[in-house]
Amino acid sequence: MKPPDIRRVKLTDFEGHSPRVSVTRTPNDPADVDATNMLIQQYTQADGFHCPVCGVVIKDREEVVSHLAEEINKTMERLGKR
């Protein structure tokens, strides 16, 4: 079986706008779910998720996922301005 053609995405593909991630209840790619779960697991302690960027502690999983998306989008925007 031949793997699907994968086109490399570049920042210039976004025409001056930074790429963004969004939260969805039905993800298209299981790797996205795995990556999110790994991030949550890596930074979760007994009292909740500790954001590695801002240090906030969140207990609700849905809030954690939304917060991760916000932090990723902020970082992508900063990278796009360089």
* Residue type present at position 5: D
Q: Tell me, what's the pLDDT at 21?
A: 85
Question: In tens digits, what is the pLDDT along the chain, a chain of 82 residues?
Answer: 555 556 676 656 666 677 788 898 888 889 989 999 999 999 999 999 999 999 999 999 999 999 999 999 999 888 877 6
Name the pTM for this structure.
Answer: 0.75
Q: Could you give the C-alpha distances from 10 to 5, 32, 78, in angstroms and in order?
A: 16, 19, 15
DSSP letter string over 1-68? -PPPP-PPP-GGGGTTS-------SS-S-HHHHHHHHHHHHHTEETTEEE-TTT--EE--HHHHHHHH
Looking at residue 78, the DSSP 8-state letter turns out to be H
